[in-house]
Amino acid sequence: MTNTGGILEGKRILITGVLMESSIAFHAAKLAQEQGAEIILTAWPRPTLTERIAKKLPKPTTVIELDVTNDEHMAGLADKVRAELGGLDGIVHSIGFAPQDALGGNFLDTPFESVSTAMHVSAYSLKSLTMALKPLMPAYDSASGAGGGSVVGLTFDAQFAWPQYDWMGPAKAALEATNRYMARYLGPEGIRCNLVSAGPLGSMAAKSIPGFSDLASVWDSRSPLNWELTDPEPTGKAIVALLSDWFPKTTGEIVHVDGGLHAIGA
């Protein structure tokens, strides 16, 4: 049942990356609707899969086919979103991909073509997606603080070299740097840009990483708070909070939702 008067009441949010019910993006979409937002989803490469999963959300929503590496898709995105929602107040970037030869211990042998793909899809798309949709965000009034918007992306802590993660690590580092530069350049227009750094979750994206269980096992012994691989809701809540007006002066930030592991040395 959809709540009224939630922290996203009246907000219009575009959410990428809803692939399965276990996806972080699905839980962000569900919570956003429950908190009063109108949402629209994008999907690639199988929009029909996202359309099927979207039926499990509290309210019906439109799914737009979007390949962030396709210039035609990006050029037409704003018009499609405008036709559905009229404008936009927030974006959730939950997009990441690396070819198999860029993962699983192949770091030293990965060709640049695969590295380039990982960087384009996982990092550059944060900028290109935001700029494609920026014209839909309300004009910012610095006196009142009204207008602008919120962009929230997902990362996996790029401070460390994780087992098996290989070129997705540098791609996430590039994503984190991109977020900081976007915060710098878009702040004067009232657009906040932040990332949520989630611990490992048993999503489709995670399961595509060879040796994911070895990476995830680190949390069993080192995370101060009990970490559940099957519970994306805490991450979804952080995304919704950053989309809301409750973080009006926070930008360029990385909020860790990882049970506290990022703060623990050994």
Tell me if 11 is assigned to a ligand binding site.
no
Contact (Cβ atoms closer than 8 angstroms) between residue 241 and residue 247: yes
The catalytic position among 172, 181, 185, 207 is 172
Tell me if 24 is assigned to a ligand binding site.
yes
Tell me if 23 is assigned to a ligand binding site.
yes
- DSSP bridge partners of 229: none
Q: 181 an active-site residue?
A: no
Q: 172 an active-site residue?
A: yes
Tell me if 67 is assigned to a ligand binding site.
yes
The catalytic position among 56, 127, 165, 249 is 165
Tell me if 17 is assigned to a ligand binding site.
yes
Tell me if 95 is assigned to a ligand binding site.
yes
The residues assigned a catalytic role are 165, 172
Residues annotated within a binding site for substrate: 98
Q: List binding-site positions.
A: 17, 23-24, 67-68, 95, 98, 172
> Which positions make up the binding site for NAD(+)?
17, 23-24, 67-68, 95, 172
